[in-house]
Structure 1
Amino acid sequence: MKAHIGDRLHVHGRNVGNPDQLGEIVEVRGADGGPPYVVRFPDGRESLIFPGPDSVVESREHISH
């Protein structure tokens, strides 16, 4: 998994009733775009995330189209 600042992290809900989470990647701490990522969620909170298999990075270019 590789990401750039401004990409979106999409974390799929793992259980019925748990919504997906979307957040903007504001910092990439791993080498060559790898995790972990600092992600800002719409409510303003920021978290250090090590994405699992239920996560997808959506590129800035993909989001804007």
Structure 2
Amino acid sequence: MRASVGDRLLVHGRTVGQHDRSAEVIEVLGPDGTPPYRVRFDDGHETLMSPGPDTVVKHVTDD
């Protein structure tokens, strides 16, 4: 997985009733765009994240 600052991460809910969450990458801490990432979720919460297979990167250039 590779991401850049400004990209969005879409984290799919893992259980029934758990909603998808979206976060903006605000800092890339790994080499060459690899995790971990500092992200800001839509509710304002910030955290460090090493996304798993339930996460999709939406690049800022994607339509």
Partner of 2:42: 42
Segments of structure 1 that go 5 or more residues without pairing to the other structure are none
Equivalent position amino acid for 1:50 in 2 = S
Partner of 1:22: 22
Aligned length: 63
Q: Please identify runs of 4+ aligned residues in structure 1 that moved more than 4 A.
A: none
Q: TM-score, normalised by structure 1?
A: 0.93
Mapped to 2, the partners of 1:8 and 1:23 lie a distance apart of: 6
Segments of structure 2 that go 5 or more residues without pairing to the other structure are none
Q: TM-score, normalised by structure 2?
A: 0.96
